[in-house]
Amino acid sequence: MNGQVIIVTGGTSGMGMYMAKRFLEEGAKVAITGRNMERLQQARGQITSGAKDELLLIEMDVRNVEDVERMVEQTVEAFGRIDHLVNNAAGNFISPAEKLSSNGWNSVIDIVLNGTFYCSQAVGKYWIENKIKGSILNMVATYAWNAGAGVIHSASAKAGVLAMTRTLAVEWGKQYGIRANAIAPGPIERTGGADKLFESEKAAQRTLNSVPLGRLGTPEEIAGLARFILSDEASYMNGEVVTLDGGQWLNQFPF
């Protein structure tokens, strides 16, 4: 990854932060985005061990098209180019479908589905104009193709992002050599998802029992897979979704 330029949206915590850390350790230049500069600066303290010039902080909201365009401009201005985009920013909370307000639905769809499209389109246009064979990595969830009881907004949005991944893989792969892939993480420790979705002891235990490997995944494991997917070692991988969930989604029958 030496010298490669990578944007990671939602990079102030959890998987985004650990991916950024790993990419920096591999010699990449990384731009992380987040909605709050204070949180971005706190993340910088946790991510960098010295090479501060290689990390760019961008305060923006993926729901805002003007912010997204500025994200592209700022990154190119700071690092000279963009090689990869990791669409990691997400929003989620548990709500029964019948109780979810239209604002709650719209908010998650806007961050996850619309935000992923705005970022992909803006960076994709830059790649097409500059003849760069970049790659996109989208973070989805196994409920993008399975069921997501209690998170109908997130499941619907992630299903859309998976369709977007495969569509861009074909459309931009064929014409411009741009790759698009996805990771479907299961429950991962030290992430906003785990904190929010498994906040009660009972929910945490139920989750743990559902994973054949009997533990949560780590953000370092996600970062290792992301590094591989973005690297030249995966240069023939396009339109793929790789599950990293300890076998959780396959575990349907008690044994």
Interface with ligand HXC includes 103 (CB under 6 A)?
yes
Cβ atoms 71, 31 nearer than 8 A: yes
H/E element holding 55?
Answer: strand 55-59
Cα 70 to Cα 52: distance, rounded to the nearest angstrom = 21
Residue 188 beta carbon to ligand HXC: minimum distance, rounded to whole angstroms: 8
DSSP state of 98: G
18 counts as catalytic: no
Name the nearest CA neighbour of 119 among 238, 233, 243, 6. Answer: 6
Give 76's contacts (C-beta < 8 A, 6+ positions apart): 82, 126
Q: Of 29 and 158, which CB lies nearer to ligand HXC in the complex structure?
A: 158
Stretch that binds ligand HXC, among 79-87, 103-111, 218-226, 230-238 (CB under 6 A): 103-111
Judged by CB, which is closer to ligand HXC: 4, or 165? 165
Task: Quote the tokens at residue 42.
Answer: 């706190």
Please tell me whether residue 252 binds ligand HXC under the rule CB under 6 A: no
CA distance to 32, 108, 124, 130, per residue, from 39 (Å): 11, 21, 28, 32
Contact 169, 180 (CB under 8 A): yes
Q: Which of 115, 134, 193, 217 binds ligand HXC (CB under 6 A)?
A: 193
Nearer to ligand HXC (CB atom), residue 150 or residue 224: 150
Q: Which of 11, 16, 91, 160 binds ligand HXC (CB under 6 A)?
A: 91
* Sheet bearing 5-8, strands edge to edge: 55-59, 29-34, 5-8, 84-87, 135-139, 179-185, 241-244
Q: Which of 90, 144, 182, 183 binds ligand HXC (CB under 6 A)?
A: 90
Per CB under 6 A, 223 contacts ligand HXC: no
Binding residue (CB under 6 A) for ligand HXC from 95, 114, 210, 231: 95
Is 104 a binding residue for ligand HXC by CB under 6 A? The answer is yes
- Residue 60 as a binder of ligand HXC (CB under 6 A): the answer is no
Closest by CA to 146, choosing from 154, 134, 138, is 154
Q: Taking CB under 6 A as the rule, does residue 137 contact ligand HXC?
A: no
Listed residue (120, 10, 25, 126) closest to 76, CA to CA:
126
Taking CB under 6 A as the criterion, the residue among 92, 116, 120, 181 binding ligand HXC is 92
Residue 141, interface with ligand HXC (CB under 6 A)?
yes
Task: Rank residues 50 and 214 by Cβ distance to ligand HXC and give the closer one.
Answer: 214
Question: Which amino acids are annotated catalytic?
Answer: 143
Binding site for ligand HXC (CB under 6 A): 90-93, 95, 101, 103-104, 107-108, 141, 154, 186-187, 192-193, 196-197
